[in-house]
């Protein structure tokens, strides 16, 4: 889920081909040249000593391995291992994978439409994308992928799994799925299709209430949302808005800031803080509000709401612009920067944490709803959150090396008061009344708005306690 829009723009440039040095002397010189600015910056020659180990291993493999190795493969493997040791969201991309990454954020791709992550070294489904082959085939959030077309997934990393999952339109891929609560693994075959990256869907719910669902935050999300809101407003006056961010895995930082501005106006939305000064940035929306600021709002979130969607929910909550309904969010409060490398490959590196307008870090904790409502779920259903991911970044208030505690669930989240009944058709095919009957969280949001129980206290300033962002002297002026 890349967030740093400035560094991401550099990803589009073509780099010249990379040619690695094959012998120890040139390699040692290269490593020395890399280590010098690091050593100067840290005043610690342990960095150089560590790089000497890497150079020695590279030399030994190059000169003594039973077959002549491919040096690019060695370098890529070393970089991949280095990044994967940091946290679950830092990773290496080959040149082909960089192209796929660009497609994910700006166009379309051929696949099944499923968001995956690594949980306890197992490829695990975060959520199927609504109205895609994976969704229609019955793949669920929390499903563990045991194999892909008969290839064991236990030793795959995320990008390798994506490579096997994607393929030509019309071709099929068979998953072996282990599902919590189901005794034996089972197979699901899905036919690949063109997955259009349409991120915004709307529906009139009645009583002057408009429903807006943002599936992810990609390059055109803000423009899509502007168009959708104008179309809703043209049909009927908007007396209330339901913004659905459930199962939204996030995306681009700049889009989350701009989307927030459509509901808040030109205000500070999020702050990033890292180890370097240039990573400490306050992002203020440059978009004016297009939704009447007096119209009450409810935002729906759940455990699949992550990253950019948490930025939007947190900002709307902090300013008192919307009531948050649902369950605690995923808790991914970190920023990833995409850094292109000379051979066309690249890396995604976690470079900062982000904070809501009142200075809250949501790493691990997530966004806690104002009104806790849990939809009935299948028995033994478990969806991963950030604290479940191996090697996750600690929360902002934890001591280095401390293990992040799992936030205690609210009483309303501990058990389902109603039995789970799977819907007989896709939500997109339901009438508003059918959706309200099948979706407890949506029905709660609708009834709160319809009955006038949502108080909009938005004044242009975050709610108490006072926000460090809003009081900073270096905020950009409104244009």
Domain limits of the chain?
Answer: 5-93, 108-196, 200-471
Residue 293 has pLDDT above 60, yes or no: yes
Mean pLDDT of 352-376: 93
The pLDDT assigned to 405 comes to 53
Kindly report the backbone phi and psi dihedral angles of residue 109, in degrees, each rounded to the nearest multiple of 5, phi listed first. Answer: -145, 165
Question: In the 8-state DSSP scheme, what is residue 217?
Answer: B
CATH class of 200-471: alpha beta
pLDDT tens digits, 176-194: 999 988 989 999 999 999 8
Question: Is 238 within 8 Å of 291 (Cβ atoms)?
Answer: yes
Is 264 in contact with 319 (CB distance < 8 Å)?
Answer: yes
Tell me: pLDDT of 290 over 70: yes
Q: What is the mean pLDDT of residues 413-421?
A: 62
Catalytic option among 119, 143, 332, 337: 332
pLDDT of residue 159: 79
**Angstrom distance (rounded) from CA 297 to CA 314:** 14
Residue 163's pLDDT band, with cuts at 50, 70 and 90, is confident
For residue 278, pLDDT over 80 is answered with yes
Q: Has residue 414 got a pLDDT over 50?
A: no
Burial 378-397 (b: 16+ CB within 10 A, else e): beeebbbbbbbbeebbbbbe
Residue scoring higher pLDDT (149 or 411): 149
Give the residue-averaged pLDDT of 433-462: 90
Which of 231-240, 276-285, 389-398 is predicted least confidently? 389-398
Poorest-confidence range of 124-133, 358-367, 375-384? 375-384
pLDDT exceeds 60 at position 26: no
**Is residue 302 scored above 80 in pLDDT?**
yes
Annotated catalytic residue within 318, 334, 337, 439: 318
pLDDT-wise least confident of 58-62, 343-347, 362-366, 472-476? 472-476
Q: Specify the DSSP class assigned to residue 70.
A: P
Output 105 or 305, whichever has higher pLDDT: 305
Mean of pLDDT values over 349-364: 94
What is the residue-averaged pLDDT of the chain? Answer: 81
The pTM of this model reads 0.72
Q: Give the domain 108-196 fold.
A: Pdz3 Domain (2.30.42)
Band of residue 468 on the pLDDT scale cut at 50, 70, 90: very low
Average pLDDT over residues 432-449: 94
* Residue 332 known to be catalytic: yes
- Please determine, for residue 103, whether its predicted confidence score (pLDDT) is greater than 50: yes
**Per-residue model confidence (pLDDT) at position 214:** 96
Question: What's the confidence (pLDDT) of residue 10?
Answer: 31
Contacts of 10 (CB under 8 A, 6+ apart): 338, 339, 340
Instruction: Reply yes or no on whether the pLDDT at 479 is more than 80.
Output: no
The pLDDT value given to residue 217: 93
The whole-angstrom separation of Cα 320 and Cα 407 is: 24
Query: What is the reported pLDDT for 154?
Result: 85
Is 307 assigned a catalytic role?
A: yes
Looking at the predicted structure, is the pLDDT value of residue 250 above 70?
yes
Residue (of 112, 98, 133, 102) closest to 18 by Cα position: 98
pLDDT digits (tens, 9 = 90+) for 30-54: 333 343 444 455 546 677 788 889 9
The pLDDT score that the predictor gives to residue 254 is: 94
Check 307, 309, 334, 345 and give the catalytic one: 307
Q: Are 183 and 166 in contact (CB under 8 A)?
A: no
Give percent of the chain above pLDDT 70: 80
106 given a catalytic annotation: no
pLDDT at 273: 93
State mean pLDDT over 377-387. 79
* Model confidence pLDDT, tens digit, residues 308-326: 999 999 999 999 999 999 9
Number of C-beta neighbours around residue 62 at 10 A: 16
Which of 215, 218, 284 is CA-nearest to residue 251? 218
What is the DSSP annotation of 5-62? HHHHHGGGSPPPPP----SHHHHHHHHHHHHHHHHHHHT-THHHHHHHHHHHHHHHHH
Whether residue 459 is predicted with pLDDT greater than 50 in this model: the reply is yes
pLDDT tens digits along 203-237: 999 999 999 999 889 888 999 999 999 888 887 77
């Amino acid at each position: 889920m890349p967030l740093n829009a400035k560094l991401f723009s550099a990803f589009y440039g073509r780099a010249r081909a990379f040619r690695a040095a094959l012998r120890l002397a040139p390699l040692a010189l290269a490593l020395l040249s890399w280590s010098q600015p690091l050593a100067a910056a840290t005043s610690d020659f342990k960095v150089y000593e560590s790089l000497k180990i890497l150079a020695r291993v590279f030399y030994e493999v190059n000169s003594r391995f039973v077959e002549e190795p491919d040096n690019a493969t060695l370098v890529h493997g070393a970089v991949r291992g280095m990044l994967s040791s940091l946290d679950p969201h830092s990773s290496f991309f080959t040149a082909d994978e960089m192209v796929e990454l660009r497609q994910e954020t700006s166009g379309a791709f051929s696949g099944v439409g499923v968001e995956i992550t690594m949980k306890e070294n197992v490829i695990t489904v975060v959520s199927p994308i609504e109205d895609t082959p994976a969704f229609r085939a019955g793949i669920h959030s929390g499903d563990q992928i045991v194999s892909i077309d008969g290839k064991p997934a236990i030793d795959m990393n995320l990008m390798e799994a994506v490579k096997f999952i994607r393929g030509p339109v019309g071709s099929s891929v068979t998953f072996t799925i282990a599902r919590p609560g189901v005794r034996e693994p089972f197979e699901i075959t899905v036919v690949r299709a063109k997955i259009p990256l349409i991120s915004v869907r709307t529906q009139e719910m009645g009583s002057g209430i408009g429903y807006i669902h943002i599936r992810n935050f990609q390059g055109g999300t803000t423009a899509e949302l502007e168009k959708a809101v104008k179309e809703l407003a043209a049909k009927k006056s908007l007396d209330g808005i339901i913004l659905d961010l459930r199962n939204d895995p996030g995306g681009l930082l700049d889009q989350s800031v701009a989307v927030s501005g459509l509901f808040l106006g030109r205000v500070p939305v999020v702050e990033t803080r890292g180890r370097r000064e240039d990573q400490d940035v306050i992002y203020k929306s440059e978009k004016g509000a297009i939704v009447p600021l007096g119209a009450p709002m409810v935002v729906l979130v759940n455990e699949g709401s992550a990253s950019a969607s948490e930025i939007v929910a947190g900002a709307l909550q902090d300013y008192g612009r919307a009531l948050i309904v649902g369950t605690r969010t995923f808790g991914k409060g970190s920023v990833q920067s995409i850094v292109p490398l000379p051979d066309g490959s690249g890396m995604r590196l976690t470079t900062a944490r982000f904070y809501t307008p009142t200075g809250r870090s949501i790493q691990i904790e997530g966004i806690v709803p104002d009104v806790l409502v849990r939809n009935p779920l299948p028995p033994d259903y478990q969806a991963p959150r950030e604290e479940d991911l191996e090697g996750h970044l600690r929360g902002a208030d934890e001591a280095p090396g401390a293990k992040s505690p799992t936030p205690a669930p609210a009483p309303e989240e501990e058990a389902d008061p109603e039995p789970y009944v799977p819907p007989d058709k896709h939500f997109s095919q339901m009438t508003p009344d059918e959706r309200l009957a099948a979706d407890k969280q949506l029905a709660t949001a609708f009834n709160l708005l319809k009955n006038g129980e949502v108080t909009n206290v938005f004044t242009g300033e975050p709610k108490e306690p006072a926000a460090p962002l809003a009081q900073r002297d270096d905020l950009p002026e409104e244009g």
